[in-house]
Chain A
């Protein structure tokens, strides 16, 4: 099977220009491409649009200062954030109040499904979640539909320039295996961006991940980065 190019985290980060939109897999930075994010911080790439469940954590499990994309927000590199929960990163609320950061909050299932819809070639999502709430006014909401007497919101698919995946193992063909709860948004994000970069803790030979256990298929991955091991 064709091997995918392997980059350093710094090389991967340099591919991302100012103003890019980036999907970041991970939930409180579990399953996040943290080495590439660190390099983006160093580069100071600005005006980013981030699409992620949350902004990581200001403090990591072992007391690390910044864990995941929180650092990009603190560094004022983000102009727009599309997320579901930012309670662990008060900086987001502060920058939003100051008017320097646009924040679009979406229900977690809606965010996942809108990304899935894009990657699956669908024109949108009809979900009962968000009816009678502020989500009706979201830029991603295209209106309300009544089907068989039940109300649904029509939500737009979500696409990005880049997707940064955070896997545990990635084989040389780009197949990814996520440990524990790392899978979260990575699986759908791998299908909904122009360029997909999989950061992993271990690059392994093709065949080490059994076919039954491939979570993200190598065909969706453009580049592989070996990041830090935890």
Chain B
């Protein structure tokens, strides 16, 4: 797979997790590509932590709803409310998140492990971007799905135990990468789907944790 195709491939597979009417929070980067791949008939309610319940497509300069000083997303880019969406304050908004009203959050990881622990907010002594809304989302969303490239510069990102400070423990339900789909179960990581471009051995070699292969292992491509 070409490097340039990886993110789109992962986003496309993530889109299959969603059904019409789901309330979904999308992290910065790859997750924001997911709406482009939704099957026909699936419309999401996009939850944005800056304060939009039902966010619309990002407007461009010249669009009637382009307002970069008053309507932005969590990356500071111009945003919009969808037809039927609404604006909300931060305390109420995070009440919705912690209260289990968000069906799924999709976010990237620096590290994730067999117990569903996630690390993605700090590299001590090196980088301190902060957690933003990630800790609340990992704990509060009904499903927490990590979508990321399987390795970073050839090094594993999936471990038996995370080494970096955690964002949240026991929170990840599923990991979707360009190589495979892993479900986090009580018995560790179970590979349920594989990209036919890779072998099971290649996936295992790129993962620093034991993986069980599901009996009915499927292809990630239909």
A residues sitting closer than 8 Å to B (CB atoms) are: 27-28, 30-31, 53-54, 57, 61-62, 83-88, 92-93, 96-97, 103, 105, 107-110, 112-113, 115-116, 127-135, 168, 178-188, 215, 230
Contact = CB atoms under 8 A, between A and B. Distances in A.
Interface in B87-104: 87-91, 93-95, 97-98
A85 B132 contact: yes
B132 A181 contact: no
A127 B93 CA distance: 15
Interface string B44-87: 00001111100000000000000111111010101101000001
20 contacts: A28-B50, A30-B76, A31-B70, A61-B68, A83-B130, A105-B128, A108-B49, A109-B91, A109-B94, A109-B136, A110-B135, A112-B93, A133-B167, A168-B70, A178-B87, A181-B51, A181-B79, A183-B87, A183-B88, A186-B89
Given A131-B169, A134-B165, A84 B87 contact: no
A61 B58 CA distance: 14
Interface of B: 48-52, 67-72, 74, 76, 78-79, 81, 87-91, 93-95, 97-98, 117, 122, 125, 127-136, 139-140, 165-169
B94 A180 contact: no
A93 B124 CA distance: 11
B83 to A, nearest CB: 15
B76 A28 contact: yes
A131 B140 CA distance: 12
A113 B91 contact: yes
Given A27-B90, A93-B128, A113-B91, 20 more contacts: A27-B72, A27-B74, A61-B76, A85-B131, A85-B132, A103-B128, A105-B128, A108-B94, A108-B133, A108-B135, A109-B91, A109-B97, A109-B140, A131-B168, A132-B166, A133-B165, A181-B70, A183-B90, A185-B89, A188-B91
Contacts of B48: 181
A143 to B, nearest CB: 17
A19 B53 CA distance: 38
B98 A109 contact: yes
A180 B67 contact: yes
A8 B67 CA distance: 26
Given A129-B98, A132-B166, A230-B69, A184 B131 contact: no
Given A115-B91, A133-B135, A85 B169 contact: no
A184 B51 CA distance: 6
A61 B72 CA distance: 10
- Of B87, B98, B135, chain A has the most CB atoms within 10 Å of the CB of B135
- Of A109, A180, A181, A230, chain B has the most CB atoms within 10 Å of the CB of A181
A168 B87 CA distance: 14
A180 B88 CA distance: 9
Contacts of B69: 30, 61, 230
Contacts of A134: 122, 165
B136 A110 contact: yes
Nearest to A56: B76
A181 B130 contact: no
Contacts of A186: 89
Considering the complex of A and B, which 5 residue pairs feature the smallest CB-CB distances, nearest first?
A: A109-B94, A87-B129, A180-B71, A61-B68, A109-B136
A130 B139 CA distance: 9
A107 B81 CA distance: 24
Contacts of B135: 107-110, 129-130, 133, 135
B98 A86 contact: no
Contact of A133 (B76, B127, B166): B166
Given A107-B136, A183-B89, A185-B90, A128 B70 contact: no
Nearest to A55: B130
A27 B133 CA distance: 12
B139 A128 contact: yes
A113 B89 CA distance: 11
A65 B129 CA distance: 21
- Of B52, B91, B117, chain A has the most CB atoms within 10 Å of the CB of B91
Contacts of B132: 54, 84-85, 87, 108
B91 A187 contact: yes
